[in-house]
Chains A and B, each alone.
Chain A
Amino acid sequence: MKSLQDLERIRLKAQERMRVREGEGATKIAVGMGTCGIAAGARDVMAAILDEVAKRKLADVTVTQTGCVGLCEYEPLVDVILPGQQKVTYARVDADKARQIVARHVVNRQIIGDWVLARS
């Protein structure tokens, strides 16, 4: 049974994680959450990314949202920005692809070319 006390336990663990962070800078993952993104499945994509980042205990990964960028037909869109690298935008991501993006791109640093819409 979960309760609000669990949040305090998490607080302690998170503080520990923050202490062991290295100075490389943060990786940013952004999910498109306009109406078009939401209708295409962005909520479950964001949930899968957060879950995968938590499971793998990745420090220094920030998961955020963006609005509609006008590429509605390619939603859900996911941007990955590794420290010091170009932004990579993945198109038509689902929960399963989202987990693979975390594993292959964020952890193993290998861009999944077949799913990339743009690099900038």
Chain B
Amino acid sequence: MEELALYILDLVQNSIEAGADRVCVFLDQCAADGKIVIEVRDNGRGMDEAARAAAFDPFYTTRTTRRLGLGLALLRAAAEATRGWVELESQVGAGTRVKAVFDASHIDCPPLGDVPTTLAVILAANPDLELCYRHRFGDREFSFTSSELRARLGEVALNDPTVFQCLRELFAESLDNLHGGVNP
């Protein structure tokens, strides 16, 4: 993946495949130590010990359409290439938490990428998902939940194309503000 934002999209898609209807995404860009931390928590079906042990194996998957898993293996390879790491916590019936730590100052760290489009696509692709998002940059923060967006939209769904356009712009401006008008 060429952007950290695409790993976020992939992790959320994993949660959806695991039957989650509630997903929280936390993105911390820590100015002090130059770390970028991506954390995704869901209420999906979770993994047992055997699945947890095999989750980072690119040749392990529960899907039947392809014989490779890939997602978490790619994430860990990318994090470790920056001297970072990935943590996985999962219990059957209790959901899954994946946390990936990247060293943004490392030359092999992918750019953060297009977070606004990623968020708007997640909402459009999963209009019924309860998504909460919190993005920290130093001591500043941007957050939203899909339920507060839905409350404003009434019977208009989050996958309405005009809503997508509006949200993408809204997120882009909010993240520009978060970064103080600078694109990191």
Contacts and interface: CB of A to CB of B under 8 A. Distances in A.
Interface string A54-81: 1000100111110111101000000000
A14 B156 contact: yes
B149 A7 contact: yes
Nearest to A72: B66
A120 interface: no
Interface residues of A, number: 38
Interface stretch (B23-31, B84-92, B167-175): B167-175
Given A43-B6, A64-B125, A4 B165 contact: no
Interface in B55-89: 63, 65-66, 70-71, 74
A13 interface: yes
Given A39-B6, A69-B65, A51 B124 contact: no
Which among B159, B160, B167 has the highest number of chain A CB atoms within 10 Å?
Answer: B160
B169 A2 contact: yes
Contacts of B6: 38-39, 43
B98 interface: no
B156 A35 contact: no
Contacts of B13: 33-35, 38, 67
Nearest to A65: B125
A72 B152 CA distance: 38
A11 interface: yes
A3 interface: yes
Nearest to B75: A35
Given A4-B152, A46-B121, A67 B1 contact: no
Contacts of A62: 159
A46 B66 CA distance: 22
Nearest to A52: B161
A2 B173 contact: yes
Interface string B20-45: 00000000000000000000000000
Interface of A: 1-4, 6-8, 10-11, 13-15, 31, 33-36, 38-39, 43-44, 46-47, 50-51, 53-54, 58, 61-65, 67-70, 72
19 contacts: A1-B173, A4-B148, A7-B153, A7-B163, A8-B152, A10-B163, A11-B156, A14-B156, A14-B160, A15-B155, A38-B1, A38-B13, A51-B164, A54-B165, A58-B161, A61-B161, A65-B125, A65-B126, A67-B17
